[in-house]
């Protein structure tokens, strides 16, 4: 089955800790995206990548980092610099205008 997988479903972060969220797609899409969802805020773009080994900051990139070493994978690291990381994180991919979303990872702070 083609699709986007995200892991883990729930992730807990301690103060001062970096954590990495996984996103994998087997749709052969060139572009991948990370969004943050907060209650009542809609989705906001963190980072996006149009091609392997290239990525750009979105609207709220501070405190986050990404890599794109393989077409299928676009991991997101939430660094200790992100002071309010509690949110639902969604990964998406596209080969044109339409984006397809993964099931999401909920990040909670201990």
Partner 1 sequence: GNSVTQMEGPVTLSEEAFLTINCTYTATGYPSLFWYVQYPGEGLQLLLKATKADDKGSNKGFEATYRKETTSFHLEKGSVQVSDSAVYFCALIRPGAGSYQLTFGKGTKLSVIP
Chosen residue from 15, 53, 83, 96 binding partner 1 by CB under 8 A:
96
Binding residue for partner 1, selected from 24, 74, 82, 102, defined by CB under 8 A: 102
Neighbours of 52 (CB within 10 A): 15
Our finding on whether 97 is near partner 1 (CB under 8 A) is yes
Cβ atoms of 33 and 39 within 8 Å: the answer is no
Q: How far lies 86's CA from each of 11, 44, 82, 108, 109, in Å?
A: 10, 14, 10, 5, 6
What does the per-residue mask of binding to partner 1 show for 11-50, with x meaning CB under 8 A?
--------------------x-x------xxxxxx--x-x
Three-state DSSP at 14 gives coil
Q: How far is the CB of 77 from partner 1 (least distance, A)?
A: 20
Q: How far is the CB of 81 from partner 1 (least distance, A)?
A: 24
Name, in order, each residue with C-beta under 8 angstroms of 44's C-beta and a sequence gap of 6 or more.
35, 36, 37, 38, 58, 59, 60
**Which residues here bind partner 1, judged by CB under 8 A?**
4, 6, 31, 33, 40-45, 48, 50, 56, 58, 90, 92, 94, 96-104
């Amino acid at each position: 089955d083609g699709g986007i997988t995200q892991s883990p479903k729930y992730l807990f972060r301690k103060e001062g800790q970096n954590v990495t969220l996984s996103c994998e797609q087997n749709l052969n899409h060139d572009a991948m995206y990370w969004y943050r969802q907060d209650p009542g805020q809609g989705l906001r773009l963190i980072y996006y990548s149009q091609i392997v080994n290239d990525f750009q900051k979105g609207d709220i990139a501070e405190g986050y980092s990404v890599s794109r070493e393989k077409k299928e994978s676009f991991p997101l690291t939430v660094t200790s610099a992100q002071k309010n990381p509690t949110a639902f994180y969604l990964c998406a991919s596209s080969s044109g205008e339409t984006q397809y979303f993964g099931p999401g990872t909920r990040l909670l702070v201990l």
